[in-house]
């Protein structure tokens, strides 16, 4: 179950992080301070959080910590970019869907933060050693 949660959640962050890399100036321009100022620093931080956190979840390495970092990041991103209550009427449905999707994502992050990566994770294999990890004996 935790393997599925990690593998299902990780691609959302990885895809978003890669998208920010490929459109860095656009991403930075949408953030406070703009593309040439604080926005560039915030965009670089967002990329690091999404790619680092997404990869940690996918591999099951420092999953609790990754989920704990991704949680407030996702809350902030949700409130800043999916504020369905403050968008033009034509965008309300799409932003409401994105807002609710992110609530589900937050639920998965809470589970991972509290229960850890599960049995099938690099971190679990390292702790168990070569004879104790599932599938390695």
For the chain, the domains span: 2-128
pLDDT in tens, 50-90: 999 999 999 999 999 999 999 999 999 999 999 999 999 99
Give residue-wise pLDDT tens across range 82-116.
999 999 999 999 999 999 999 999 999 999 999 99
Q: By mean pLDDT, which of 27-31, 120-124, 132-136 is the weakest?
A: 132-136
pTM for the whole structure: 0.88
- Cα–Cα nearest to 111, from 64, 69, 60, 52: 64
Residue 135: band (very low, low, confident or very high) from pLDDT cuts 50, 70, 90: low
Residues 48, 51, 52: CA angle, nearest 5 degrees? 70
Tokens read off for 102: 């992110």
């Amino acid at each position: 179950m935790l393997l599925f949660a990690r593998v299902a959640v990780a691609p959302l962050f990885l895809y978003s992080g890669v998208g920010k890399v490929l459109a860095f100036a656009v991403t930075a321009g949408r953030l406070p301070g703009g593309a040439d100022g604080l926005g560039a620093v915030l965009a670089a931080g967002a990329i690091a959080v999404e790619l680092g956190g997404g990869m940690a979840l996918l591999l099951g390495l420092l999953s609790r910590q990754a989920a704990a970092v991704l949680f407030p990041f996702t809350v902030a991103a949700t409130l800043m970019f999916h504020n369905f209550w403050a968008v033009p009427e034509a965008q309300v449905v799409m932003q409401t869907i994105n807002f609710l999707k992110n609530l589900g994502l937050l639920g998965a992050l809470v589970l991972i933060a509290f229960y850890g990566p599960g049995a099938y994770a690099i971190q679990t294999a390292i702790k168990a050693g070569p004879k104790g990890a599932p599938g390695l004996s």
